[in-house]
Structure 1
Amino acid sequence: MNDLSRRDASLRLRPWASLLLFLSAYAPLMAILILKDIDPASPWWVRSPVYCTILLLLGVVSCVTTLATVRGLSRGLPVVVTKAANRSGDMFSYTIPYLLSFVRIDPHDWQTVAGLCIFMGMLFVMAYRTQTVFINPVLAMAGYMLVDCTFRRDDKERQALVITRAPIGMGETHHVTQLSYYLYIATPVAAPNGDGHAPS
């Protein structure tokens, strides 16, 4: 089996880690729901303090975890890019549940909350099973792009989606780390001078 097809055990994310990555995609939605619950006449300035506290903690923890996970990945394998096309628009596939921000959600209505949990749970299972939790609008806001790449290593070609902060062009060499079978992330190369760029 070649290096590009071998999956490192560390990349087989545990369910709780995948859940935090998934939840981070909806951190802005959580902020919107908290904003909609604000009531200056209430003692805590919100109608449902427990509900808002849970949303706030989930949003902050999931975003910090996502950004730390991506930035903490080690340098991957060098590959030569033969084709590249921007697919960053796919990161907006997570925006469908944002329509919930236009609906009044009563946290005291257990039927509404249960239905919402079932809906989000179904989306999470789909993202987890397809290993697409890294395709995330929070990463887009942090400056990451999604690129459809064909790259070559050791005379073997592979086509996959690559998450990257730097533009990827044909003929360029980049280091990539495998996240799932068809998803990679371009990792920066630390130069000896410590400036984060590969030496020329």
Structure 2
Amino acid sequence: MFGLRRTTGQNIAQLVQRKFERILNMKFRIFPAFLVFLGSYFPLALILASQDISQKTWAGGICQKWGECNFPTFEHPWLSGLGVLVTGLCLILTFNVISRIRHKYTINVSESKSIPSELISYSFPYIVSFMGVDYGSLGRIAGLAAFLVWLFLITYKASQIIMNPILLIFGWNLYEAKIMINKHERIVKILSKNILIPGIYCCGDIQGNYITNGESCNV
């Protein structure tokens, strides 16, 4: 009986993994793309959650003595917790997506230059969060949600979903590179874990953007 359960569990895990890989190998679909997009706003969820901490908590102090800290209370704990949980899971999904990408393309990088990630479009919601938006104003939260949906559609159509500025913190860099692939020269954007120097790399592809570990591959 235990062997059957173990086998069933393994089959389910293999099925989930195959479906996940199938999603990665296809053009980035809108729902997975939306989840990756939400992961970009994990810091925004933390900002809104900190704004939702009750005045009683701030007045009493969270840590009066070292090692004697109290968990803060929130005015709207469900909304604060849900926002942090959902965006946090989506951020984990983003790293999971990147780690599972199949590097099936071999490219020859002849030139590359580091380019700043397009942070401007991601900055607006953070600015808005400091303009009176909090979980106590459902109308403003609804407006922020509508703004995020609109921003997502623009970002998705522009094929910029994977350009998550949070990745910069974890050592990823965005490059514009001149490459040779299938005997054709192209100018592309490459997201690389390491410094991208001229050489041969194995890459994956999401929305026309190449992703590599930044390590030269042997062909």
Could you state the TM-score of these two structures normalised by the residue count of structure 2?
0.75
Tell me the distance in 2 between the aligned counterparts of 1:175 and 1:55. 36
**Higher relative contact order, structure no. (Cα contacts within 8 Å, ≥ 6 residues apart):** 1
Backbone CA RMSD of aligned residues: 2.4
Tell me the distance in 1 between the aligned counterparts of 2:218 and 2:105. 16
Question: Which deviates further from its counterpart, 33-42 or 147-156?
Answer: 33-42
Tell me the distance in 1 between the aligned counterparts of 2:190 and 2:25. 18
Matched, 1:39 2:54: yes
**Are the aligned partners of 2:195 and 2:214 in contact in 1 as well (CA < 8 Å)?**
no
More helix by share: 2
Question: Which deviates further from its counterpart, 14-23 or 91-100?
Answer: 91-100
Count, aligned residues: 184
Residue 18 of structure 1 aligns with an amino acid whose one-letter code is A
Mapping of residues 49-128 of structure 1, within 5 Å:
49-91=77-119, 93-128=121-156
Residue 50 of structure 2 aligns with an amino acid whose one-letter code is L
**Are the aligned partners of 2:200 and 2:217 in contact in 1 as well (CA < 8 Å)?**
no
| Identical aligned residues as a percent | 21
Tell me the distance in 1 between the aligned counterparts of 2:75 and 2:24. 45
Query: Alpha-carbon deviation of 1:118?
Result: 1.2
Q: 1:34 to 1:138 in 2, by over 3 A?
A: same
Structure 2 partner of 1:142 = 170
Q: Provide, for residues 78-112 of structure 1, a one-character-per-residue CA deviation record: whole Å limited to 9, x for no partner.
A: 21111211013434541222112322323243321
Gaps of 5+ in 1: 1-7, 190-196
- The runs of 4+ residues in structure 1 deviating greater than 6 Å are none
Residue 119 of structure 1 aligns with an amino acid whose one-letter code is F
Could you state the TM-score of these two structures normalised by the residue count of structure 1?
0.82
Question: Which deviates further from its counterpart, 41-50 or 24-33?
Answer: 41-50
Gaps of 5+ in 2: 1-22, 58-70
Matched, 1:175 2:202: yes
**Are the aligned partners of 1:73 and 1:187 in contact in 2 as well (CA < 8 Å)?**
no
Tell me the distance in 1 between the aligned counterparts of 2:24 and 2:74. 44
